[in-house]
A and B are shown apart, each in its own frame.
Chain A
Amino acid sequence: MLKITNVSKTYNNKTKACNNISLDILPGDIYGFIGHNGAGKTTLLKSIAGIINFDEGEIKVFGHSIKENPLAAKRLIAYIPDNPDIYETLSGIQYLDFIGDVFDVRKDKRQELIDKYAEMFEIKDVLNNPISSYSHGMKQKIVIMSALIHEPKVMLLDEPFVGLDPKASYLLKEVFKELCANGSLIFFSTHVLEVAEKLCTKVAIIQQGKIVANGLTHEVIKDESLEEIFLELLKE
């Protein structure tokens, strides 16, 4: 599981981006993370992925502390940022190979998964081309594929549906369900409340660095919509 305990992060000793956040995300969960711009979503996701340091608290990935044992924790994680800034000087296949090498994915397994997802996301014809020639959506697909080829136990995604065409969005949601059925967990931030409402088994709402609502989706929204709940919380 992904266990986040009392995590706080301050920028420049002033702005508290995450304020004493605690969350438990279990295998099989599709956990939506909702908040306005600048609420602290990306900061928390980057802290879990080991990209930035946090000041207080603890994050454990299946028992491995991201601070104490980062390599063991990161071997279980795939992180997909909101902006697919990847190595433009490599071709798609070279980038996937780089990630495969890092996660030590066997060559035959790697090829099988690359073929499967390239076919699924309809980018097999451009895998030999440099990433610099890709559109935003293509880059996003390559980042998603790079996450999937090492079959992660924890998938962290920052606004994963931005830039994807409707078919790719649908396929990604199906992949989420397939991964969760196999014991992985998904934790993603989104502004698209309809997606969160329909797709997520659990949601957390963050406001100015604090979790203001959290739990099973149907319990959080009760007989209202997620949009109404979110706006009510913002007013408070």
Chain B
Amino acid sequence: MSTLLPPPGEIAKMPVDWVEERSGLITFGKFMLFRNVPKDISWLQTLGSALITVFILQVTTGILLAMYYQPDPDTAWMTIKFITDEATLGWLVRGMHKWGSSVMVVLLFLHMGRTFLFGAYKYPREMTWITGAIIFILVMGMSFTGYLLVFDERAYWATIVGVNINGTAPILGPALSWILMVGPEISTHTLSRFYALHMLVIPSILGGLIALHMLLVVRLGVTSPPWSRMQVTESDV
């Protein structure tokens, strides 16, 4: 019975093999890490991954804020005040969430500008651009719904004006305003509706679109810069 236990190296590999045999996740991970990308990709092509980092940061700080925040007109402002003034490192969590949104919008512009400059939206990558454009619009929606949650004077009045502006659209406008505010003016329901949109509805759609966007990037291959000197030769075909 001396061969009862396999050598330690084999034991360490067992859970990995177990997962691999049932899901193929290890092969998938290896494929993602060791796939080839163009030799001359540049620093300009790091903005997409930086955006994913910021998105993860926003989700993490957002979850931490949600542990203290109450979407009720009477207490919302008090909980923001508590997070900022009293909670341990609350100012840092809220500050990073607040300024992370600004940085995210700037990075989105730069990422989109880079894609434009490289002509990277051209065949067959049109769908990657379209998902990116929708992600951009949804991020603006995140900002609009998040702005009210602080529930200070500026948040309150800026949201009223913003919703009223929505209301100027013909036919759908007034209905949209009513749906957003849950009635003619900002109330308890408005705040919880904005909260639900801000932390459940839009982020879920955003997460799905980001996954699709990345899937397309991996499937179609990263675009090499348009000034690439590397030429396709007969021997490659």
Partners in one complex: no
Q: Which residues in A have some Cβ–Cβ distance to B below 8 Å?
A: none
